[in-house]
Structure 1
Amino acid sequence: MNILDDLKSQYKLGGVAHRLIYWNVGCFLVSLVFFYQFSLGSFNFPTWVALSTEPSNFIVKPWTFLTYSFFHDGFFHLLFNMVILNFASSYFLTFFTQKQFFGLYVLSAIFAGISFVGGYYILNLSASIVGASAAIMGILVAVTTYQPLMNVRLLLIGNVKLWHITAVILILDLMQFRLDNTGGHISHLSGALFGFVYIKLLQNGTDLSKIVTWIIDFFASSFKKPTSTPFRKVHKNYSQPIENRVSKIITKDKAQQQIDEILDKISKSGYDSLSKTEKEFLFKAGK
């Protein structure tokens, strides 16, 4: 198996959090090719990618309320966000589903984008923004709101409560609010607020992430080609031994059991703990 096959297997088996990381990294690589100005040493994101506070831009390009959350203005900007995303997702997915995770990511980004545009309109300022920080803050604050006293073991520090980590990040945002990147901090805090509201509504029986799930299912079913199977006459062969059918079920169960054992190993020790044989088996099973 080469590196490309290894990456494909991790993408297929990693879940929505790992796929979001892949998408963010992929968008960053694309932006390096098309949007990075080497002469200036900075990115110049077009208005159809970044979220601009100018009404003439975001009104005709409403998709930028989401696309901005998949692009980053620098390697360390991307690295920090992906580390926090991986951290927050590991705890969020302990209690909630993959669909809830993706729905919250999308809705937090959109809400934070609206808050950014509205805040800059009130301040009479003009700017554009990129970065997944707001969506990630929604995930982090959501799981913190749900389980604030969960123990987290940090290197060189030891055990701390989850709310301690989230509080430090929020305080740093508040301290820098008027110093630098005001728009970024507006979106971060807005994403955090949405994560808090999401959990409170969920505890009262309202799951906002179902909005995103419904939209995805709607478009998926709209573009899906209807499958028509021709009529086939079925003949029953009573002379066929029953043992043959049983043996097929047993074979399928053994294969599925092996897949489940490997996935359980991944959840406990990570993908890198798999042997070469196990990786090849998963890759073939995912085709």
Structure 2
Amino acid sequence: MSPLTQKSARNILLGQDNNALVFLFAVNSLVFVLINFIRIVYFLSDIPLEFFNKQILDWFTLSPVPEVFFARPWTIFTAMFTHLSIWQLISTLLWLWAFGYILQDLAGNSKLLPIYLYGGFVGAVVFLLSNNLFPVLERNILTTPAMMGGGAAVMAVALATTTLAPDYRLFPLINGGIPLWVLTLVFVAIDFATLSGGNAGTGAAHLAGGAVGFFFVKQLQKGKDWSAWMNALVDWIDNLFNPEKKKEQQKQSEKHFYRANRKPYEKIANITQQKLDDILDKINQHGYAFLTDEEKAFLKRASDEEL
């Protein structure tokens, strides 16, 4: 099996460690199941759904009313994972799969979740500001629906993926494929059309999320990784609760140092396969673009030799 084939085989393993796409699918789905389970309980108990909205749903969704938001500041994060309608959830997951899978394949597993969170957070802030700063929206703020769903977050993923690889082809068997930017243009146009309606705050939030994804990749291409602090924090927490994993990482790092009981130029069996595995792991975590020229050359030679 060639290294590129091995890479593809690894990428489609949905149960692999650090798969941000699967994590986002799981969180969005679990929140949906939890909220709708409680909603069913209210319904079967013959409790009006208005009570469900006030007692349960409003604690997850983002209200544009400042007094309500400041009483529930956590909703700036929970709203991006909250879906009440099954069709809203399916729409989020389908768009997330379409763009998130490509993003992980090109940039590794460590970028998708930060982009999703950045997009959702900035989108929520823009939703609050637009509904309170523009008079045409502010006068109807009490009747404006609370924001929920991963629209802004997924828009960030979509723009980040398109900025990273605008000529990426979907459905290559259909006349050479559809460029990724065409799908993104349709996605953006749908939200842009809502700016002239009463739900303009949500449309502006989605477009703001898309802008975050665009600038994230532009900064990444300049060598500035906005996700570095977030990934470092996650690793620190992971190591805090999994000390054995930290010890294992230390043991692996020790293999890169020279040991006195080994000859400096001793040829070790399977060293080529080990290096190949290290490069494939690096692609899986950070993306092909982060390989050095030497690693890319090695991967090409290994592919030609079918190692």
- TM-score range (shorter-chain normalised) is 0.5 to 0.7
Structure with the higher strand share, 1 or 2: 1
Residues 110-125 of structure 1 mapped to structure 2, 5 A cutoff: 110-123=121-134, 124=138, 125=141
Tell me the distance in 2 between the aligned counterparts of 1:172 and 1:157.
25
The question of 1:101 aligning with 2:112 is answered yes
Aligned to 1:82: 93
| Residue identity in the other structure for 1:108 | G
- The structural deviation recorded for 1:107 is 1.1
Residue range with higher mean Cα deviation, 46-55 or 30-39: 30-39
**Number of residues paired by the alignment?**
226
Residue range with higher mean Cα deviation, 24-33 or 55-64: 55-64
Alignment gaps of 5+ in structure 2: 1-12, 248-268, 285-307
The question of 1:133 aligning with 2:137 is answered no
CA contact (8 A) 1:81 1:136 kept: yes
Tell me the distance in 2 between the aligned counterparts of 1:105 and 1:42.
31
CA contact (8 A) 2:39 2:49 kept: no
Residues 119-268 of structure 1 mapped to structure 2, 5 A cutoff: 119-123=130-134, 124=138, 125-126=141-142, 127=144, 128-153=146-171, 159-221=177-239
Alignment gaps of 5+ in structure 1: 1-8, 230-248, 265-287
- The structural deviation recorded for 1:80 is 1.0
Q: If the length of structure 2 is used for normalisation, what is the TM-score? A: 0.64
Aligned to 1:48: 59
Aligned to 2:9: none
Distance of aligned partners of 1:157 and 1:120 in 2 relative to their CA distance in 1, 3 Å threshold: farther
Distance of aligned partners of 1:176 and 1:10 in 2 relative to their CA distance in 1, 3 Å threshold: same
CA contact (8 A) 1:11 1:19 kept: no
Question: Percent identity at matched positions?
Answer: 23
Aligned to 2:32: 28
Distance of aligned partners of 1:143 and 1:64 in 2 relative to their CA distance in 1, 3 Å threshold: same
- The structural deviation recorded for 1:55 is 2.6
CA contact (8 A) 1:103 1:211 kept: no
CA RMSD of aligned residues (A): 3.4
Distance of aligned partners of 1:60 and 1:99 in 2 relative to their CA distance in 1, 3 Å threshold: farther
Q: If the length of structure 1 is used for normalisation, what is the TM-score? A: 0.68
